[in-house]
Structure 1
Amino acid sequence: MSVHNDLVLGARLAVGGGRTRGTSLVRLALVATGVGLAVAALLLALSAVGAVQARMDRESAREPVPAEAGDTSTYVIQDWTYYRGTLIEGAFLQAGGAGAPVPPGLDRVPAPGELVVSPALAELLRSPEGELLRPRFTGRVVGTISAEGLADAGELRYYAGADGLRESGAAEAVGAFGERGGSTGPPPFLMFLLGVSAAVVFVPLLIFVSSVSRIAGAERDRRLSALRLAGADAAQLRRIAAAEALVGALAGVAVGAVVFLAARPAVAGTDIAGIPVRPADFAPSWQAATAGLLLAPVLAVGSALFGLRHLVVEPLGVVRRSAPVRRRLWWRLSLVGAGVLALSPDLVFAVEGRGHNTAVAAGTGSVLLLLGVPALTAWLTDRLVRRLRGGTPAWQLAVRRLQLDSGTPTRVVAGVTAVLAGAIALHGLFGAVQAERERVIADERDAVLVAVTDADFRHAAELLRHTQGVREVDDDAIVLDETDPAALERARNALAPLSWRASLSAPVDSQASAERAVAILRGVLVAGVLLTLVISGASLLVLVSGQLAERRRALAALGANGVPWGVVGRSLLWQNAIPIGVGVVVAVSVGLAATALVGRLLEMPFRPDWPIVAGLAAVAVLVVLAATAALLPAVRAATTQSALRAE
């Protein structure tokens, strides 16, 4: 047979024909559903990344680029203020001559006394809620910033024309906006956390794709044996098996694309973990989409071929070269060891603790550690069940099944254990961030600092002394009346006549920014973990269904021999409970170790929240047991005499 004929035969076997058509279509539907859910989640995650990247690109496009010799400059002083805890960013501008660069979203540099504001800020200034903010903007509003100059539609931003910037020495001479700078990207620490969060989301999805593609492996082995009897050689069998897996993966890609297109309109209208993005940006780049769509077929085919490595397919049957499979420990420990080394870049590679290289190392180390969790779980489960003896009939059935083949049940729980390890690591890291923030806030002064540029401080102090709510003005700080909630806003308004020459900074502002950053980062964790757990639950149903389909003959035989269906059902629960129990121990250990390593790298305290750790572990166990219990009615049907006659 030619290669083309082998591939066509594999595709026909995936769909089935004659008596086996119904069974083949059910198997194909299970594989397509499992792969489709993972592909849809992957596309949604890539779309979220694309939306955030588009936002960062717009922010980068308005970043000032220092002027070079011969450039006509625009003089810029970046400015920001807070209003009731909400950040309002802006800049004071002065054109240095004709042809001076203009920030994105503006058609010209505003003249002194002119203001250009974002639509959201214009609406706030017109509304009753902005009554206390209006005195701070003394210029005349001459226009609004267009969409290309805003990170999102709700951003509060302004540009104010001013004079005296060139002579002050405090302004930056700008030759362009964003043209020579490129994307600045997120801060290193945020990249660090995003790298770990991406590993938590993507690694379990990859595990699910590879696991689902190996549903009904025993049935596939019998088909390969029949083909061997018909004269197919080993190379042809591999091509046929690859084509059969490819059909299921491609069907899963189609299902995933449909689910993604159906879910995108609802998801695109929401913020991503607290970060506002434009709905139109919620789409993966064509490069990312292509890679994501190709990943499922590659993993499916690779998993199918990898599953044949221990098989000797003969005309009269299938024999495994080693039964049970001897699981090697060295490469599993190598994954964990490499992850530990990657999370210690300052010791191994002399990398700075909070630089961009550290973020890359953190993401790499997290991926390796998360891959090591299911790998170690499989080895430990295999060693554990070999030593188990006795117990109830249900227990003995489960243990014997695991002794013969622990690979399938371990694959069922692999993705959940990876999610658990990543969630514990990230939660511990956020706990350390929270503790560090509380320590910094406790050390800050209660006074509000006054920053003065090119102005007489006595003038600023005089303005503040006549402001309601200001109790004391001393050197470069003021003390506000704590009983007056509007005192800080009035103090900022009092300095408005000095324009860019004076500003206020208060501890409450930094506290609000820190709390908002922690909330966004925690939202990234919660969104990623919830998304992956939803996919976990759905994929577990698919995997357990496939597990049940593989054993339907044995289950029917047990029922025919008088074994109660309840015993069979409890054995299936034990069969998945033992691997998830081992996996929880491994995941908690790896998650806590990762938290300790990251905390040491970032010089943050290691303070695990044991109730949260216990809760996450309990959720992981419940997800697996609930998915298994949901199929107990199918177990009962499989143990009836009619099921045996159907076989």
Structure 2
Amino acid sequence: MSADTATTAGGGPRGWARDLGMGIRFAVGGGREGWIRTLLTALGVGLGVTLLLGAASIPTMLETRAQRSDARLPIDPPDTAHRSAATLVSADVDTSFRGDPVRGRLLRPDGAKAPVPPGVGALPGPGEMVVSPALRDLIGSPEGRLLRERLPYKDVGTIGEPGLVGPGELAYYAGSATLTTGNGGHRTAGFGARNVADPLDPLVLTLLIVGCVVLLMPVAVFIATAVRFGGERRDRRLAALRLIGADVRMTRRTAAGEALFGALCGLLAGAGIFLSARQFVGGATVWDINVFPSDVTPVPGLAALVLLAVPLSAVAVTLFALRRVNIEPLGVARSGAGRRRRLWWRLPLPVAGLALLLLNGKAGHGGVDPYLVAGGAALFLLGVALLLPWAVDAAVARVRGGPVPWQLAVRRLQLSGDTAARAVSGITVAVAGAIALQLFFSAIQGDFMKITGMDSGRAQIHTSLPSRDVATIRKMISEFRSTEGVRRVMATIDASATRPGPIRPGEDFRPTTQLTVGDCATLAELAHTGSCRDGDAFIVKDSTGAVDGDYIAKTARPGGTVDFARDDEAGDRRTGPRLWTIPASARTVASRPDATGRMAFGIFATPGALDLKLLDHPTARAVIQIDAEVPDAVEYVRNTAARIDPGMRVSPVQNMERDKQFASIQKGLQTAAVATLALIAASMLVTMLEQLRERRRLLSVLVAFGTRRATLGWSVLWQTAVPVALGLALALAGGAGLGLALLHIAGKTTFDWSVVWPLTAAGGALVLVVTLLSLPPLWRMMRPDGLRTE
């Protein structure tokens, strides 16, 4: 290039295009060193782009999962579809195996034109089933032996992708010859109901927005760091460019062109990594989240934003970084050595972020503004990242003396502390955001936890089985008691008891109360029965001593008669009367809650007090104690229940129940946090290797002059340790500040310090691991032959 050409470099679009193109040519033709720098930049930017494209795919993943979930729901409400050749009867028979949900549905077609669920080629016949690939693998393995016993059907087909929310879902459809609308089934004319999701709670919305900002901000910080790789060598090349006549603006635009080329290569690398990695997502399940590779598709608008933002950011960051560098024809002078960084323009950013968050007020009073929350959190975390270089400068500015490794490290930080600060800025932002999120989590999770009133100390499982057949109920009780791992079964048979005779004037229906049949030990769990023997009966009132309205008083009286025949919805009897006389010796006792928290009232009777064949549509309930020392005791109980009736409901006894919406958001954020931490670890390693490569010649010079390798090794470690310590301290303070602002939005005052220290320790451990991984390359670089050049 001639000097005349260089000096005529001007502004405007043509000048920008020419200078950016020159920078790209320098990056391409820079020899081995230039390509190494470009590859490191491309790798760093590519890792960030991969995660950004993954984040841009989240809306698509959620939408496609919801669509496939809705597509398999029956379209008609229960009992509204009329029987025809184009209908079928179905029933949910969902279960669980070692904590993993297993989705099941029984099907019985009414005719040859019965609808087929999505993903299923043909309806399975009686005794047959079609299964998901994951379920087939599980029941075919030694680990799935117990589950295989629970599914006594012949495997005749596979559920395709349209019928599954994810490749790891455990699901099956089984054919039945006995399922009817009278024994738990519902008739439907097809599948594809729309399940309307509940609107997000304002606190959950705040959590989701802040979570997205916290997860994506470290990615943006690292991309900004990656495009500045090789800054010192680049500056020396720009000085040579100035020597042949280029002005300052031209050299800066040329440098931006080099960064632009690295960013474009990073986009290609990120897209390649993303396309390759998404082929393996189907085999990974994190916190019950599992998706098909085709679901991981970025939203076009968000993908276009990533493709535009990354190159533009590369140019902007490079120009911003060069504002402190004086590139002259005979060398490079960094103004940082003579002028300390200013705090006045950095501090307003976190303050403005806090102000935006506080403008929301409290979430319980009118909701939250998503733009204010997102903008406030982003500004605050950006401010934390920008404060780190100033903090490093301020901390090492007046440090003097100490051991030789310490002096070497401090001097390096004094001359170029921004390089070391950039290496740990991502972890600083990530830890600060994680602390704020965990503080918010711990403060609001109580709002999404419901006390069930159950007592898991008295029992661990409860079951229910509606049945017209009392023999089936007796079988259920007997088989549960003989099941492996079961210590005790408290079983009852429930039915309705009505006052005999017609409806009287002024009544809308005949007074009705509940009948509960069980042995003396079981009834003692439900009421204060006192002494009891088979053949006794009791009138049960609530624990306050008041009879439950007039219904019990009008129906359940010692020596009175009740009718077990149930009325239909119009109040008419469906069968003849089924009369039973309550023993005159029946005592009135107070009720007490069982292990599930249920309070039973009305008539209690032991089996010897009445003929169970009189009962109309009875329901069996069992509360089961299991032996915690028997492995898979819960699975044995579920197998027994499925053997008795696939439609039997088996549920755990839980003291607390978590809101499903809140739990799903929490799982999603935890899954994304794992991916972000993996990216941070990889990006820090790339950044550290790039810094060591830049110092290779300096390290070789010191080794050639006799400096011990241990001295240099400790100096490099101190150069990392000081910014890390300052970064974690800043993250601790920043995370606590952001957490307090979020607590203000939630209207909470509880500040749980116990969630802060593990995150800080995790951030420090991550940096330690990355530093240890960088030691082998460091030893290889500390050789005198590193002075060799061409």
**TM-score, normalising length from structure 1?**
0.74
SS of alignment partner, residue 580 of structure 1 = helix
Map 1:6-85 to 2 at 5 A. Answer: 6-16=19-29, 21-43=31-53, 54-62=64-72, 79=92, 81-85=94-98
**How far apart are the structure 1 equivalents of 2:201 and 2:470?**
37
- Aligned counterparts of 2:286 and 2:216: Cα–Cα separation in 1: 17
- Cα drift, residue 411 of structure 1: 0.5
- Secondary structure, counterpart of 1:308 in structure 2: helix
Counterpart residue type for residue 7 of structure 1 = L
For residue 545 of structure 1, what is the aligned residue in structure 2? Answer: 692
Q: State the partner residue of 1:471.
A: 490
* Pick aligned residue for 1:582 from 717, 726, 731: 726
1:537-568 Cα shifts (integer Å, max 9, x gaps): 4323334235526xx46x67767887666555
Between 1:371-380 and 1:99-108, the stretch displaced more is 99-108
**Which of 393, 402, 420 is equivalent to 1:382?**
393
1:129 to 146, 161, 185: 146
Give the C-alpha shift of residue 149 in structure 1: 1.8
Structure 1 residue 581 displacement after superposition: 1.0
SS at structure 1 position matched to 2:626: coil
Offset at residue 417 of structure 1 (A): 2.1
Secondary structure in structure 2 of the residue aligned to 1:373? helix
Larger radius of gyration: 2
Q: Which residue of 2 aligns with 1:536?
A: 683
CA drift of 1:400 comes to 3.6
2:318 alignment partner, one of 278, 283, 304? 304
Report the alpha carbon displacement of residue 312 of structure 1 after superposing the two structures with TM.
5.3
> Offset of 1:215 from its aligned partner?
2.2
Match of 2:511 in 1: none
- Measured in 1, the distance between the counterparts of 2:679 and 2:246 equals 41
Distance between the aligned counterparts of 1:12 and 1:324, measured in 2?
34
Structure 1, residues 420-448: CA drift from partner, whole Å, max 9, x if none?
A: 33454556667779989999478556566
* Partner residue, 2:341: 326
Q: Is the 8 A contact 2:210 2:377 kept in 1?
A: yes
- Asked if 1:524 is matched to 2:671, the reply is yes
- Check conservation: 1:115, 1:160, Cα contact below 8 A: yes
Assess if the C-alpha contact under 8 Å between 1:188 and 1:359 holds in 2.
no
> Hey, what does 1:208 align to over in structure 2?
222
Alignment of 1:399-418 (within 5 A): 399-418=410-429
For residue 284 of structure 2, give the secondary structure of its aligned residue in structure 1.
coil
Partner residue, 1:275: 289
Whole-Å Cα distance in 2 between the matches of residues 565 and 37 of structure 1?
32
Structure 2 SS opposite 1:471: strand
For residues 606-637 of structure 1, give each alpha carbon's deviation from its aligned partner in whole angstroms, at most 9, with x where no partner exists: 36257634531431441464366445436633
CA 1:290/1:494 → structure 2, altered by over 3 Å: closer, same or farther?
same
Cross-structure match for 2:765: 619
The answer to whether the Cα contact below 8 Å between 1:10 and 1:243 also exists between their aligned partners in 2 is yes
Q: Using the alignment, how far apart are the partners of 1:75 and 1:360 within structure 2? A: 48
Aligned-pair distance for 1:151? 1.4
Are the counterparts in 2 of residues 471 and 480 from structure 1 also a CA contact under 8 Å? yes
Query: What is the alpha-carbon distance in structure 2 between the residues aligned to residue 524 and residue 602 of structure 1?
Result: 27
Q: Please give the alpha-carbon distance, in whole angstroms, between the structure 1 residues aligned to 2:689 and 2:62.
A: 32
> In the alignment, residue 150 of structure 2 is paired with which amino acid?
L
Distance across 1 between alignment mates of 2:344 and 2:91 = 57
Distance 1:88 1:344, change over 3 A: farther
1:242 corresponds to 2:389: no
Q: Report whether the alignment pairs 1:398 with 2:398.
A: no
Cα deviation, 1:573-629, whole Å, max 9, x if unaligned, reads 333321111001122333455566667739788362576345314314414643664
8 Å contact 1:60–1:184 — kept in the other structure? no
SS at match of 2:18: helix
- Does structure 1 conserve the Cα–Cα contact (< 8 Å) formed by 2:230 and 2:694? yes
Equivalent residue letter for 2:48? A
**Aligned mates of 1:241, 1:467 — CA distance in 2:** 79
Question: How far, CA to CA, are the matches of 1:97 and 1:358 in structure 2?
Answer: 53
Whether contact under 8 Å (1:222, 1:318) holds in the other structure is: yes
Counterparts of 2:274 and 2:478, CA distance in 1: 59
How far 1:301 sits from its partner (Å)?
1.7
Q: Say whether the 8 Å CA contact 1:213–1:245 is kept in structure 2.
A: yes
Report how far residue 512 of structure 1 moved: 11
Higher mean displacement: 121-130 or 522-531:
121-130
Cα distance in 2 for partners of 1:103, 1:61 equals 8
Q: Deviations over 1:179-224 (max 9, x none)?
A: x668889998887766555545432232222112112323433443
| Paired residue secondary structure (1:472) | strand
* CA RMSD, Structure 1 to Structure 2 (Å): 5.4
Percent identity between the aligned chains? 30
* Gap change, CA 1:80 and 1:645, over 3 Å in 2: closer
Residues 40, 259 of structure 1: 8 Å contact kept: yes
Deviation at 1:96, TM superposition (A): 12
Of 362, 372, 381 in structure 2, the residue corresponding to residue 347 of structure 1 is 362
How big is the shift at 1:409?
1.3
State the secondary structure of the residue aligned to 2:491. Answer: strand
Distance 1:404 1:605, change over 3 A: closer
Q: How far is the alpha carbon of 1:350 from its aligned partner?
A: 3.7
> 1:307 Cα shift?
1.3
Distance 2:454 2:490 in 1: 22
Structure 1 residues 479 and 259: alpha-carbon distance in aligned structure 2, compared to 1, 3 A threshold: closer
Aligned partner of 2:531 in structure 1 is none
Q: Which amino acid aligns with 1:524?
A: T
Task: Describe the SS at the equivalent of 1:390.
Answer: coil
Check conservation: 1:125, 1:133, Cα contact below 8 A.
no
For residues 298 and 568 of structure 1, what CA distance do their matches in structure 2 show? 38
CA gap 1:510/1:478 in 2 versus in 1, 3 angstroms = farther
The CA deviation string for residues 43-95 of structure 1, in whole angstroms up to 9 with x for no partner, is 5666687556543432243456689xx99998998845324454344568899
CA-CA distance at 1:522 after TM superposition: 8.5
Deviation, 1:318, is: 5.2
Q: What amino acid sits opposite 1:574 in the alignment?
A: W
CA separation in 2, counterparts of 1:192 and 1:114? Answer: 49
1:481/1:487 contact within 8 Å kept: no
Is this contact kept in 2: 1:249–1:297, CA < 8 A? yes
CA contact 2:443–2:752 (8 Å) conserved in 1: yes
Aligned counterparts, 1:430-469, within 5 A: 440=451, 444=455, 446=458, 465=477, 468-469=480-481
CA contact (8 A) 1:76 1:172 kept: yes
SS in 2 for 1:416: helix
Shift of the alpha carbon at 1:128?
5.6
Q: Which residue of 2 aligns with 1:371?
A: 382
Q: 1:5 aligns with which of 18, 23, 45?
A: 18
Give the drift of 1:15: 3.3
Distance 1:539 1:293 in 2: 22
Cα distance, 1:60–1:224 mapped onto 2, change above 3 Å: farther
Counterparts of 1:631 and 1:202 in 2: how far apart (Å)? 30
- Cα drift, residue 304 of structure 1: 0.8
Larger proportion of helix: 1
1:414 offset after TM fit, Å? 1.0
Q: How far is the alpha carbon of 1:234 from its aligned partner? A: 4.8
- Return the letter of the residue paired with 1:415: G
Range with greater deviation from structure 2 (376-385 or 575-584):
376-385
Question: More displaced, 584-593 or 443-452?
Answer: 443-452
2: CA distance, partners of 1:75 / 1:336: 62
Distance 2:113 2:655 in 1: 37
Task: Give the gaps of 5 or more residues in structure 2.
Answer: 1-8, 482-488, 493-515, 517-599, 601-618, 628-632
CA 1:509–1:118 in structure 2 vs 1: closer, same or farther (change >3 Å)? farther
Equivalent position amino acid for 1:215 in 2: F
Contact 2:89 2:108 in 1 (8 A): yes
